[in-house]
Chain A
């Protein structure tokens, strides 16, 4: 069973702090990794994607990928109350019939306290 695991939270951080969200995945051959943000009652919106080991920065967001350890993380610097949302990790995994399938984690709820 292909899996993507996230801590459900809630993760609570004070305003201005760094929020660290983690995700592990089961398929060692996975190549593409995505972070989505989902506000309550809304649809997921893409924050960023990462394909290569290491860090990728986009504004206050940094995605970190470690394929050897099969985890991907998202760091949010200078957290704001508007960052309070559920963060979904998604991984494109190989399927037996060929091709890929996107598997979503259940998400981590983040709460940024003002």
Chain B
């Protein structure tokens, strides 16, 4: 089955710790995205990548980092510089970058909690 997987489902971070969220897709999509969702709010774009070895900052990139070494994988690291990391993190992919008609499909999400 084609789809997007994210792990872990829940992640606990201690203060000052970096943590990495995994996102893998087998849809052969070129573009991948990371969003953050806070309660009662819409999705905010953290980073996106159009092709391997290339990525751009979204609207709220501070305190986060990404890599895109393989087409299938787009891990997100939440660094200690992100002072309010508690949120629901969603990974998405699309065939190409958001052009006309490009639809994004989402993984199941990772809920990050701060201890």
Contacts and interface: CB of A to CB of B under 8 A. Distances in A.
A and B are partners in one complex rather than unrelated chains: yes
Interface of A: 4, 8, 31-32, 34, 36, 42-46, 49, 51, 88, 90, 92, 99-102, 104-107
B40 A34 contact: no
Given A34-B103, A92-B102, A43 B109 contact: yes
A97 to B, nearest CB: 10
B100 A8 contact: no
B44 to A, nearest CB: 8
A99 B42 contact: no
Contacts of B74: none
Contacts of B98: 92, 99-102
Nearest to B58: A101
Nearest to A36: B106
Contacts of A4: 42
A99 B41 CA distance: 25
Binding site of A, secondary structure by majority: helix, strand, loop or mixed? strand
Contacts of A34: 103-104
A43 B90 CA distance: 7
Interface string B78-95: 000000000000100000
A44 B40 CA distance: 14
Q: Give me the 5 closest cross-chain CB pairs, A-B, nearest first.
A: A106-B42, A43-B106, A104-B43, A100-B98, A102-B98
A40 to B, nearest CB: 10
Given A99-B99, A101-B45, A104-B43, 14 more contacts: A8-B40, A34-B103, A34-B104, A42-B109, A43-B90, A43-B106, A43-B108, A44-B90, A51-B100, A88-B42, A92-B98, A100-B100, A100-B102, A102-B98
A4 B44 CA distance: 12
